[in-house]
Structure 1
Amino acid sequence: MDQASNSPGVTGQFRPVPDLPKPLVGLWAPVGVGTVLWFVAFVIMLLTGVEGIWLWTTLAGGGLGFVGFGIIAWQAAASRRGSRGAQRGL
């Protein structure tokens, strides 16, 4: 079988690739969970009296989570506008 078998009405050698389900490509949930976890770690370290690089690393991780929310919103707006460089399906 050298030829791919297509359903009726599909032309060409290969079938078109279907879009992934929304839960698999949605970015809000994983970025939100990651951001919350970074801030929880920051609060735990504050309460336990940890000082030094790890305290500031957890704070930076939470801050970068907020930057991630901004990037997701920016890409989604660009996709809705139809911008050429935007990721589709966000």
Structure 2
Amino acid sequence: MWSAVPAAIVDFVTPEVPEIPPRLTDPRPVLAVGSLVWLVATVVVWCNDSWADARPICLMGLGVGLLGYSIFVIQRRGARRGDKGAQKGL
């Protein structure tokens, strides 16, 4: 039957996971590029009448980008204040 695995074996098998570099965890470039792409798409669609059906989609893309940036700002403010429920590393 199965027996308990000694703790020494479990610690030996589990490697140390390196920390992810800050440049890969910073959400600001992703938010900026995404919002810029939606802004360009909105301007292009608004200038061209043949793409009139895509206007609401572009506006919603801008809205989702604004929502994402708002959540990021609120979480960053909470992390800087030291709130218990805030994300770490913002």
1:4 alignment partner in structure 2: 12
Tell me which protein shows more helix as a share of its residues.
Answer: 2
Cα distance in 2 for partners of 1:65, 1:14 equals 38
Structure 2: which 5+ runs fail to align? Answer: 1-8
TM-score relative to the length of structure 2: 0.76
Rg larger in structure: 2
Structure 1: which 5+ runs fail to align? Answer: 6-12
Q: What is the count of residue pairs matched by the alignment? A: 81
Percent identity for Structure 1 against Structure 2: 31
Question: What is the RMSD computed on CA atoms of the aligned residues?
Answer: 2.3
TM-score relative to the length of structure 1: 0.76
1:80 alignment partner in structure 2: 80
Would you identify which runs of 4 or more consecutive aligned residues in structure 1 move more than 3 Å? none
Amino acid at match of 1:75: Q
Relative contact order higher in (CA < 8 Å, ≥ 6 apart): 1
Q: State how 1:6-21 maps to structure 2 within 5 Å.
A: 15=16, 17-21=17-21
